[in-house]
Homo-oligomer: A and B are copies of this chain.
Amino acid sequence: MICENQQELESYVAHARHWTQKGKVADYIPALAKANQAALAVSIYEPGKHCFSAGEVEHKFTLQSISKVLALAVALEDIGEEAVFEHIGMEPTGDPFNSIIKLETYKPSKPLNPMINAGALAVTSLIRGSNNHERLERLLHFIQDITNNSNVKVCEEVAQSEFDTSFLNRSMCYYMKQHNVISGDVEEILELYTKQCAVEVSCRDLARIGAVFAFDGKDPDTDRRIFPTNVARICKTFMVTCGMYNASGEFAIKVGIPAKSGVSGGIMCAVPGRIGIGIFSPALDEKGNSLAGMRLLEKMAKAYDLSMF
């Protein structure tokens, strides 16, 4: 058993709490700016064990970039590994997640990986469905299945607000359309993408998602297969090489587990064969990762010896 007791986890949260004051809540849309700067929560999902949690675990937040991993899993299932990687590369970029430069300099034009915005938009464009409603249902059911939570749904306010203002994502989509990286209607892709980012979850949901990836796509409790091993493996690899924006390398050194963060302050972690972890703390560092969440994870990684390396 990873986490021995509730008190221990609560003390870690208590000690990391002050870091929430050093970060900055994302404010590019009003719905995100409303988040509670001081919030810090963690859940650990260990199969067959009590799910330990500490902090404001009742808080809900949107997946944002964490949804990139889930959309990738769906696209890999829908059209297969080979077809996905015809459109999107496998390499870390060294650039910010919203950089457009490598779309111009890298030949042939192709987003370098599915965890940067350009790559994630291209992934979303590959999800099967005869229209956006079908594609969103496909994705939502997948998330509800992994989280074992049929209440998971899109926060329409956040989705609309992002859709109206995501000029940079539009810019990248049109750039990719010019170079045949994406086909289909840009506004439709953006609508689906902003909805996928606006799926609302809790820390516990994230921990459960992490656990499913940790156990290679199987429900950690029932052993039922939700998605193929290979899909889980690919997703976990990207989480290591590019999951934490352009702090991924440092995170791999300091924590050493597959993880994906979002600008809402969530972090989803999958410790292979062991546990899933969900983190929430909306105050971000300069790279866009939850500041207190990162500190808490560093602490937990040492205490529970979580690093893969």
B90 touches A92 (CB 8 A): no
Binds B, one of A34-42, A45-53, A131-139, A168-176: A168-176
Is A198 an interface residue, CB under 8 A from the partner?
Answer: no
In the bound assembly, the distance between CA atoms of A236 and B113 in angstroms comes to: 22
| Nearest residue, chain B, Cβ from A112 | B94
In the bound assembly, the distance between CA atoms of A238 and B91 in angstroms comes to: 14
Is A148 an interface residue, CB under 8 A from the partner?
Answer: no
Is A242 an interface residue, CB under 8 A from the partner?
Answer: yes
Main secondary structure of the interface of A (DSSP, over half): helix
A177 touches B172 (CB 8 A): no
Is A161 an interface residue, CB under 8 A from the partner?
Answer: no
New A-B pairs, 4, CB < 8 Å, besides A168-B175, A233-B256, A234-B253: A94-B95, A237-B252, A240-B241, A240-B252
CB-defined contacts of A250 to chain B, threshold 8 Å: 89-91
In the bound assembly, the distance between CA atoms of A242 and B241 in angstroms comes to: 9
Q: Interface code A243-265, partner B: CB below 8 Å = 1, 0 otherwise?
A: 00011111011001010000000
Is A144 an interface residue, CB under 8 A from the partner?
Answer: no
A233 touches B307 (CB 8 A): yes
In the bound assembly, the distance between CA atoms of A95 and B99 in angstroms comes to: 14
A174 touches B177 (CB 8 A): no
Task: State which of B237, B247, B248 has its C-beta within 8 Å of the C-beta of A253.
Answer: B237
A249 touches B256 (CB 8 A): no
CB-defined contacts of A309 to chain B, threshold 8 Å: 233-234, 236-237, 240, 258, 272
Task: State which of B104, B167, B233, B256 has its C-beta within 8 Å of the C-beta of A177.
Answer: B167
Is A308 an interface residue, CB under 8 A from the partner?
Answer: yes
A167 touches B175 (CB 8 A): yes
Beta-carbon contacts under 8 Å, A71-108 to B: 89-95, 99-105
Query: Can you name 26 A-B pairs with beta carbons within 8 Å?
Result: A90-B249, A91-B246, A91-B247, A91-B248, A92-B248, A92-B249, A93-B93, A94-B94, A94-B102, A94-B112, A99-B104, A101-B105, A112-B249, A167-B178, A168-B174, A168-B175, A168-B178, A170-B171, A171-B175, A233-B253, A234-B253, A238-B249, A238-B253, A240-B252, A240-B309, A258-B309
CB-defined contacts of A93 to chain B, threshold 8 Å: 92-94
A55 vs chain B, min Cβ distance (A):
28
CB-defined contacts of A99 to chain B, threshold 8 Å: 104
A100 touches B237 (CB 8 A): no
